[in-house]
Amino acid sequence: MKHLLFFFIILFTVTLSAQEAYKFTTITDLETTPVISQGITGTCWSFSASSFLESEIIRLTGKNIDLSEMYQVRNTYPLKAENFIMRQGKAQFSEGGLAHDVMNSVEKYGLVPEAVFDGLDAGVTTHNHAEMVAVLEAMLKTYVDNPGRKLSKKWRAAIEGVLDAYIGKNVTNFTYEGKQYTPQTFLSMTQIQPADYVNLTSFTHAPFYSKFILNIPDNWSNGSFYNIPLDEMMATIDNALENGFTVELDCDVSEKTFSSKDGVAVIPQETENNIKALQGVYPERKITQEYRQQEFENYDTTDDHLMHITGMLRDQNGTKYYKVKNSWGTDETRVANGGYVYFSEAYMRLKAISITVHQDAVPKNTAKSLSL
């Protein structure tokens, strides 16, 4: 009877512990710009990558600069349109994109501050691209259907006209803090070198320590990624944060165990705890390379959102979490943690599609294997 009573005491204690509310302790918290909202747009790729570059500018220069997300969006859409038309409509055209789309745009078109190019009409404070995207899609469908049996050379100018009307005309010269700049000279001032950044992923359908075109829908520009083992990708995130580098993240946020309102993202060991685990600590699943690949090939892991990793935390049980900056605003009725979501290590291992980091943030052994 004594042993039975002891068993129930232990069981009761474990149950209480499993349901204990989250208590986080900050380990690393790198400097970032404020959380903002992407509004009613699918441009998380530009908002997250711009936030990432803003933190890089802080690291490189000490300057806190609010970059224009819409300048990169404005200059990427014509490339998306050309890709769609040249592939005769057999390609992705959507609002989505990836971090390297911003890096490619920065390299070609430079950077501008938000104060110079906000992509909004006068008096408007929230982005909404629903109408613009519908117009562009209808135009591109018409061009591909080719009702005149000969594609007019005016299509590029027509696309540019729509972007000018909805987002704004490109800037070539501007004044910032009393100095004259072009987008390229402004880029030089920030010390950002796009070629210094690398894209990393971890899947077994391509050889490790090689580059391949990551076959996900939003990789419309066929960007190449270094493929490394999962443990090394996670070690790269940790090494970056421990050495003052933030990390750009492409991930899956479609899971029921991801909640911006609760501010956590976890992978409970038992699916019956999926909802309860948003409120309190429950044991999590061990994520292997094989399970990660299985979920990707089953379409249970998809690339649907880009965010910005800026720090690390631990819960009361010592479990590691990552502080991830979102672009869904700071409305406390919709988001927690001031707009950040805390990803458990298990969630990051399973749901991180890829990362972008400065090459100096990659651990030496991995960098050597990749010849960086």
In a domain, 7, yes or no: no
In a domain, 13, yes or no: no
Tell me how far apart the alpha carbons of residues 94 and 43 are, in angstroms, rounded to a whole number: 10
In a domain, 211, yes or no: yes
Global pTM reads 0.93
Whether residue 7 is predicted with pLDDT greater than 50 in this model: the reply is: no
Tell me how far apart the alpha carbons of residues 235 and 32 are, in angstroms, rounded to a whole number: 22
Residue-wise pLDDT tens digits, 93-105: 999 999 999 999 9
The SS3 of residue 249 is strand
Residue-wise pLDDT tens digits, 66-102: 999 999 999 999 999 999 999 999 998 999 999 999 9
Instruction: Please state, as a whole number, how many other Cβ atoms lie within 10 Å of the Cβ of residue 352.
Output: 28
Per the structure, how many domains does the chain have?
1
- Range of weakest confidence among 3-12, 73-82, 243-252, 309-318: 3-12
Residue-wise pLDDT tens digits, 94-134: 999 999 999 999 999 999 999 999 999 989 999 999 999 99
Whether residue 209 is predicted with pLDDT greater than 60 in this model: the reply is: yes
The amino acid present at 300, given as its one-letter code, is: D
In a domain, 143, yes or no: yes
pLDDT above 70: percentage of residues in the chain: 95
Whether residue 162 is predicted with pLDDT greater than 60 in this model: the reply is: yes
Tell me how far apart the alpha carbons of residues 76 and 109 are, in angstroms, rounded to a whole number: 10
The SS3 of residue 314 is strand
The SS3 of residue 180 is strand
The amino acid present at 100, given as its one-letter code, is: H
Domain that holds residue 145: 22-370
In a domain, 215, yes or no: yes
In a domain, 192, yes or no: yes
Tell me how far apart the alpha carbons of residues 299 and 308 are, in angstroms, rounded to a whole number: 23
Per the CB < 8 A criterion, the answer to whether 26 and 311 are in contact is yes
Q: For the chain, how are helix, strand and coil distributed in percent, rounded to 5?
A: 40, 20, 40
pLDDT above 90: percentage of residues in the chain: 92
In a domain, 8, yes or no: no
Q: Residue 159 maps to which CATH number?
A: 3.90.70.10
